[in-house]
Amino acid sequence: MPDLLGDTITDAVISTLRDTEDARLAELLPALVRHVHAFVREVGLTQQEWARAVDFLTRTGQLCTPARQEFILLSDVLGVTMLVDALGNERPAAATQNSVMGPYFRDDRPRRPDGADISEGVPGSPLFFEGLVLDHRGAPVAGAGVDVWHSDADGHYDIELPDRTDPAMRALFRTDEAGRFTFRSIRPSSYPIPGDGTVGELMRSTGRPLMRPAHVHLLIEAPGFQRVTTMLFPSDDPYLDVDPVFGVKESLIAAYESHEPGTGPYRAHSEGPYTVLRHTFVLEPAPEA
């Protein structure tokens, strides 16, 4: 048997995969081997560099717990998360586009009636949200489930706040007959992605900022329509162009209207300055089953 040299080992590895039963796996694995081998050849990877990469990935895995997923964060900052989403959710420009889901969604969020205050006493500048959910023809989508969640004025989610166990700044709503849902909360702030792990090392070594622009997360589901996982960013946020997870899309930049006390549509409901955010979401029909 001839020795496997640099130019023959790729074919040799791929030939060991020929009995893979699952058709999709039989497509994925040879392609993965080809691309990894091509990368090693292209950069002339040294043994020290290979060992350093193994150490980096090992530590990335060791950071993962039920409350923290460093591998997903790594996928996010390398643009893989948004690339996979783009390939799987191509939509017409008029439809609401997806963005990253992020790590802060939680299943035990409360179901709240229209107009509810979901801040649960967390301090911050009031935010009044008015949402409208339409289908691709412009007709209202009644009964759609709308999850919202966001950070506080310091960029922290409820699960990061000391002494708080109950959900806050998150809720599940249902659209009414006109496709509308409204709620009151507090204005979210920009915040950094976790910088104390391997992803932080990567970001520092490449001079990339950790800060994400402020946003409200939304997840909209209705029978017969594609699920929308998205977020809305304030148009005046200084971090729109440097989002480390590549979640910003032009159509997701929204006007967070600032109002002085005693002016505007909610003057009777707020003693201080407040923000109004209105947005129309357009759902695409689900592909035929």
Site residues (CB under 5 A) for Fe ion? 102
Q: How far is the CB of 234 from Fe ion (least distance, A)?
A: 13
Q: How far is the CB of 217 from Fe ion (least distance, A)?
A: 6
Pairing of strands 256-259, 191-192: unpaired
Report yes or no: 59 and 48 within 8 Å, Cβ to Cβ.
no
Which is closer to Fe ion, CB of 102 or CB of 126?
102
Which is closer to Fe ion, CB of 105 or CB of 266?
105
Which is closer to Fe ion, CB of 102 or CB of 179?
102
Q: How far is the CB of 111 from Fe ion (least distance, A)?
A: 21
Residue 161 CB neighbours (<10 A): 14
Q: How far is the CB of 231 from Fe ion (least distance, A)?
A: 7
Rounded distance between C-alpha atoms, residue 123 and residue 80, angstroms: 35
Rounded distance between C-alpha atoms, residue 278 and residue 276, angstroms: 7
Report yes or no: 208 and 267 within 8 Å, Cβ to Cβ.
no
DSSP-assigned letter for residue 288: P
Which is closer to Fe ion, CB of 229 or CB of 275?
229
Residue type, position 147, single letter: D
Which is closer to Fe ion, CB of 208 or CB of 269?
208
> For Fe ion, which residue has the nearest CB?
102
Q: How far is the CB of 161 from Fe ion (least distance, A)?
A: 14
Report yes or no: 136 and 94 within 8 Å, Cβ to Cβ.
yes
